Amino acid sequence: MIERLKIDLVESGRFGRNPLCTVERYDQLDPKKGVTRPTGTAADKAVRDYAVARMKEAGLSVRIDRLGNIFARRAGVKTNTGTVMCGSHLDSVIDGGQFDGALGVFGAIEAIRRLNDEGYQNARPIEVVVFTGEEGSAFGMTLLGSSALVGKIGVDEALSLENEQGKALEESLKEIDYLGDSIEDLRGVDYFIELHVEQGPILYDEGIPVGIVENISGISWINAIIRGQANHAGTTPMPMRRDALVAASEIVRFVNSRASEMAARPGASTVGTVGKFNVFPNGTNIIPGRVEMGIDIRDVVQHDMDLVRNEVIKAIRSIPQKYNIEVEVSTPISHSPTPLSRKVVASIKDAAGELGIPARIMNSGAGHDAQNMAAKVNTGMIFVPGVNGVSHSPMEWTEWDDIERSVRVLTQTLKNLSQQG
């Protein structure tokens, strides 16, 4: 039965590769041909259309909300109990892999197909969900669709966010035909489960096929623009320069060294990255006049994340005097570290136990829509190992046997939760 899911993951993995091609084995991966599927692109539309077709084939009724989040429902025997929801996202980072997000969506559809094959009658309704814009690769904010769904940002505010081409999310969704009108709130949802690749080395190193997530790291983003003065690299004397890149490089070093210091404490989980860095005008013989940087700070401890974030902001604000430049700092929404539901953790553990599949409890360093959902409903996550722990890279891979095990655990968990009162 893994064949059916394998087809979905391989076929959907074509969308966003250039040129379009399928990858079925690790040795077919090409570091130059990752998956690039930001929200609102033709590739995003193609993968959404593919998923919706599979949902309909599986007998699900599909609806789309104003943020382009997709919901697909299998009715329950009872009509007065809350839904069990499961799913993930279909957008990707620039040059990512085919499993990040897609596994959670197609794995959930496969779980429903297995229930169909068995003629299983779920007491609670079960819904598959696809969240819009989890990665933040187009509209400047991670976990976009789920943030609006849980009311962390307003729907209109979310729809007016613009991508780098200056196009609003609303217009982008309309263009790909995913600007829906379903009004969603989570009052009728009791549980949410997200199946996802671990995106780290722990399960792969330990040879354990399933992870059960207890906590998800918080994420704080800081955007900084450093403005100096572009000038001639040959004629401008060193003391007279206003070099934005030299100033920015001090911030890069600060983020790395401060996060490393924090992470060196026993049990600490702090990480800090300058992942986005644009230099203008970017010519070898021109002193850089402007640098735009995107900084990502994470921790499972709110206090530690806030501490590093505030120190980084202070460091950015303190460089103008030294380098005779100007800075502009903005902080797009941040996501708090999130403990997941003990009840769902226990249910996933029971499911793995019933199936005889080894599993371990762990934390997630990556952000997930589950951390938004956890604010409103009992939420859990199932992790599956990735080869060498690599993700957000064209070299991301998960073995089919591990995928099969994780989908069995997901299916069993859905059964267990859907029967609970």
Q: Indicate which of Mn ion, ligand HGY, none lies near residue 367 (CB less than 5 to 8 Å, by partner kind).
A: ligand HGY
Report the residue number, 276 or 317, with the smaller CB distance to ligand HGY. Answer: 276
Give the residue from 388, 317, 401, 400 showing the smallest Cα distance to 7. Answer: 400
Q: Which region among 77-85, 112-120, 135-143, 349-357 touches ligand HGY (by CB under 6 A)?
A: 135-143
Q: Name the minimum Å distance from CB 96 to ligand HGY.
A: 9
Question: CA 234, CA 11: separation in Å to the nearest integer?
Answer: 53
Site for ligand HGY (CB under 6 A): which residue of 65, 110, 127, 134? Answer: 134
Report the residue number, 104 or 180, with the smaller CB distance to ligand HGY. Answer: 104
Question: CA 315, CA 222: separation in Å to the nearest integer?
Answer: 12
| By the rule CB under 5 A, 38 interacts with Mn ion | no
| By the rule CB under 6 A, 366 interacts with ligand HGY | yes
Phi (first) and psi of residue 300, to 5 degrees = -85, -10
Question: Which residues lie across from 221 on neighbouring strands?
Answer: 296
| Separation of CA 179 from chain center | 21
Q: Indicate which of ligand HGY, Mn ion, none lies near residue 142 (CB less than 5 to 8 Å, by partner kind).
A: ligand HGY
What is the SS3 assignment for 16? coil
Give the residue from 414, 401, 412 showing the smallest Cα distance to 2. Answer: 401
Question: CA 411, CA 301: separation in Å to the nearest integer?
Answer: 32
What is the SS3 assignment for 111? helix
Question: CA 198, CA 312: separation in Å to the nearest integer?
Answer: 28
Question: Which residues lie across from 293 on neighbouring strands?
Answer: 224, 277
Report the residue number, 88 or 269, with the smaller CB distance to Mn ion. Answer: 88
Report the residue number, 199 or 347, with the smaller CB distance to ligand HGY. Answer: 199
Give the residue from 214, 64, 212 showing the smallest Cα distance to 131. Answer: 64
Report the residue number, 81 or 142, with the smaller CB distance to ligand HGY. Answer: 142
Site for ligand HGY (CB under 6 A): which residue of 289, 367, 386, 394? Answer: 367
What is the SS3 assignment for 277? strand
Q: Indicate which of ligand HGY, Mn ion, none lies near residue 396 (CB less than 5 to 8 Å, by partner kind).
A: none
Question: CA 321, CA 329: separation in Å to the nearest integer?
Answer: 16
Enter the tokens of residue 136: 């933040």
- The residue of the chain with the least Cβ separation from ligand HGY equals 367
Site for ligand HGY (CB under 6 A): which residue of 36, 122, 142, 163? Answer: 142
Q: Which region among 64-72, 134-142, 255-263, 312-320 touches ligand HGY (by CB under 6 A)?
A: 134-142
Q: Which residues in 94-113 contact Mn ion (CB under 5 A)?
A: 100-101
Report the residue number, 143 or 359, with the smaller CB distance to ligand HGY. Answer: 143
Q: Name the minimum Å distance from CB 333 to ligand HGY.
A: 12
Tokens 């003990």 belong to: 342
How far CA 159 is from CA of 87, 144, 146, 219, 283, in Å, comes to 22, 10, 13, 22, 36
Q: Name the minimum Å distance from CB 364 to ligand HGY.
A: 8
| By the rule CB under 6 A, 135 interacts with ligand HGY | yes
| By the rule CB under 6 A, 12 interacts with ligand HGY | no
| By the rule CB under 6 A, 269 interacts with ligand HGY | no
Enter the tokens of residue 210: 């399933």
- Count of residues of this chain found to bind Mn ion when the rule CB under 5 A is applied: 2
Q: Say how many CA atoms lie within 13 Å of 245 toward its Cβ.
A: 15
Report CA Rg, the chain: 22
Enter the tokens of residue 267: 């049990």
Q: Indicate which of Mn ion, ligand HGY, none lies near residue 140 (CB less than 5 to 8 Å, by partner kind).
A: none
Report the residue number, 100 or 190, with the smaller CB distance to Mn ion. Answer: 100
- Count of residues of this chain found to bind ligand HGY when the rule CB under 6 A is applied: 6
Give the residue from 32, 40, 35, 41 showing the smallest Cα distance to 11. Answer: 35
Question: CA 374, CA 237: separation in Å to the nearest integer?
Answer: 56
Q: Indicate which of Mn ion, ligand HGY, none lies near residue 387 (CB less than 5 to 8 Å, by partner kind).
A: none
Name the site residues for Mn ion (rule: CB under 5 A).
100-101
Name the site residues for ligand HGY (rule: CB under 6 A).
134-135, 142-143, 366-367
